[in-house]
Amino acid sequence: MIVVLKPHATDAHIESVLAVATALKLKAHLSKGVERTVIGILGVSADKETLMAQFAQLEHVEHVVPISRSYKLVSKEARPESTIVRLANGATFGGSEVTVCAGPCSVESREQVMETAAGVAASGARVLRGGAFKPRTSPYAFQGLKLEGLKLLREAADAHGLAVVTEVLDVRDVADVAQYADMLQIGARNMQNFTLLQEVGNIHKPVLLKRGISATIEEWLMAAEYIVVAGNHEVVLCERGIRSYDPMTRNVLDLSAIPLVKSLTHLPVVVDPSHGTGARLLVAPMALAGVAAGADGLLIEVHPNPAVALSDGPQSLTLPLFADLMQKLGRVAEAVGRTV
């Protein structure tokens, strides 16, 4: 890290910084400029946050600039080659395939999930998505079918050769979800639920880690680091839109996060244009754009009859719209050297 002193800092102020470095067994490297003195601190290992804070609050320190990244295991430096995450049915994230996960926002009934699974499999999806435990802003909104929903997802997926990805909300449900799902989703609201991250780090199933509603790229990678450091290396990152100031869309889908994150980490990155936009009209263009930007997969909400969906109807594709999108995705994927 680099400690930047205020203009007019005296030798005594410089000494106080050097003394803290010495006390912490760190090397310091002094550089006096015309306006300001800066002091490089070398040898920082694990707890960068704490150390930065200890320097930052010294008198006449203007600010402290981190140099090394806080994430280690998920960084491209730690592992230059891309991680390929493989699900039980053979679908992969991180290779040349663009893997499409599709299904309803919420599992509502056996009929709904069976019809959806059949339809999305026929169009080329490899993974069935669907919520059994639902995080809802309102305590009065439908909270999901829970264990029954998990069983329905498993049954529907098995009938069509699909894998299952579904969200886990509570540390107490991790074992149940892991029993029925092939991939556990950590939702945007739980991206910094650190004890939940640790629990899914302890299991041996892939994890889909959604970006928090206003998470920075670095916070998102640190959340992945929590899972990997606990022992689970199979993490897939999912961009799902960030909060912005314009009420016209639910979120702003940050597609630049795809190439940016892929330059920083070896983990695969997928895109959720359904939550990322909140509007059916925008799902297909943003799905195509996501693949053009280099996404390793997509999460698409599909419902056989969105008009009666218990959640997220306005952003769900019908089965015919999904089939049409898959055709177009194939062409764009081919244009960028990938397959769907």
Burial of 283 (0-12, 13-18, 19+ CB in 10 A): buried
Q: Is 124 in the site for a copy of itself (CB under 8 A)?
A: no
Segment near a copy of itself (CB under 8 A); pick from 45-53, 95-103, 152-160, 177-185:
45-53
DSSP class per residue in 164-207: EEEE--SGGGHHHHHHH-SEEEEPGGGTT-HHHHHHHHTSSS-E
Q: Could you tell me if 226 and 197 are in contact, meaning their C-beta atoms sit under 8 angstroms apart?
A: yes
Q: Is 99 in the site for a copy of itself (CB under 8 A)?
A: no
Site residue total, a copy of itself (CB under 8 A): 108
**Residue number with CB closer to a copy of itself (11 or 245):** 245
Chosen residue from 11, 12, 25, 50 binding a copy of itself by CB under 8 A: 50
**Residue number with CB closer to a copy of itself (15 or 47):** 47
Report how far residue 274's alpha carbon sits from residue 308's, in angstroms, rounded to the nearest whole number. Answer: 17
**Least CB distance to a copy of itself at residue 5 (A):** 10
**Least CB distance to a copy of itself at residue 244 (A):** 6
For residue 46, count other CB atoms closer than 10 A to its CB. Answer: 9
**Least CB distance to a copy of itself at residue 112 (A):** 14
Closest of 188, 192, 113, 200 to residue 157, by C-alpha: 113
Contacts of 252 (CB under 8 A, 6+ apart): 241, 242, 243, 244, 246, 276
Q: Is 25 in the site for a copy of itself (CB under 8 A)?
A: no
**Residue number with CB closer to a copy of itself (112 or 316):** 316
Burial of 119 (0-12, 13-18, 19+ CB in 10 A): buried
Which letter does DSSP use for residue 191 in this model? T
Q: Name residues contacting a copy of itself, limited to 161-220 (CB under 8 A).
A: 169-172, 189-190, 192-195, 213-214, 216-219
Site string for a copy of itself, 270-309 (x = CB under 8 A): ------xx-xxxx--xx-xxxxxxx-----------xxxx
Q: Name residues contacting a copy of itself, limited to 127-166 (CB under 8 A).
A: 135-142
**Least CB distance to a copy of itself at residue 265 (A):** 13
Chosen residue from 167, 234, 239, 254 binding a copy of itself by CB under 8 A: 254
| Residues making up the chain, counted from first to last | 340
What pairs with residue 29 in β-bridges? Answer: 40
